[in-house]
Chains A and B, each alone.
Chain A
Amino acid sequence: AQKITQTQPGMFVQEKEAVTLDCTYDTSDQSYGLFWYKQPSSGEMIFLIYQGSYDEQNATEGRYSLNFQKARKSANLVISASQLGDSAMYFCAMRTAGTASKLTFGTGTRLQVTL
């Protein structure tokens, strides 16, 4: 079975500061992918960043980076230079090749960026 755990229901960060959103995962598969999505108050799901289990370098996409620690089974999202528009729900997700493309989500972290 695969599981994603996000232990921070809510986070606050000041504008222009960096913030780390935690995600740990559990799987016995060797081949898997980790994803982060953003859900603003409008409700749509926006893909942010992807990390493959065999990728040696941490993924980066603009102000987003993924701190991938395979031995610890963690895939934390780092947002640098936070902006007011970053206020949203953030979901970590995982898909393993062994379970025929089942995509599993965590419970999410609500991030609030303050002035």
Chain B
Amino acid sequence: NAGVTQTPKFQVLKTGQSMTLQCAQDMNHNSMYWYRQDPGMGLRLIYYSASEGTTDKGEVPNGYNVSRLNKREFSLRLESAAPSQTSVYFCASSEGLGRGHTEAFFGQGTRLTVV
């Protein structure tokens, strides 16, 4: 079982460059999320998608855009990377609350460095 697949695993960008982080899940989940993890800050929600066709801002959306391409895929785009976006990025998916065992499943993470 693949679960949640994120690509790439590592990336180095120069300030001002753009890139897209890809995420796909094969569990037929409705909800998908993008988080960033920084030391001492826990996981902070960037954007989420409660269902196909909808996206909403989380705590720290500035500098990012997302696309829920279909039920399986949820991508995160950095249009003009900044050093402050150096972080570990996680994609996750889950069923909605109340539908059985509803934990979120995570990808392996993307370590992004912006120089």
Contact = CB atoms under 8 A, between A and B. Distances in A.
Interface in B56-70: 56, 58
Nearest to B40: A107
Contacts of B85: none
A43 B88 contact: yes
**Interface magnitude class on chain A:** 20 to 34
A57 to B, nearest CB: 16
Interface of B: 30-31, 33, 35, 40-45, 48, 50, 54, 56, 58, 88, 90, 92, 94, 96-98, 101-106, 108-109
Contacts of B54: 100
A33 B33 CA distance: 16
Given A45-B106, A91-B43, A105-B42, A32 B90 contact: no
B7 to A, nearest CB: 15
A68 interface: no
A103 B45 contact: yes
Contacts of B104: 35, 47, 93, 95, 103
Nearest to A106: B42
A44 interface: yes
B42 A103 contact: no
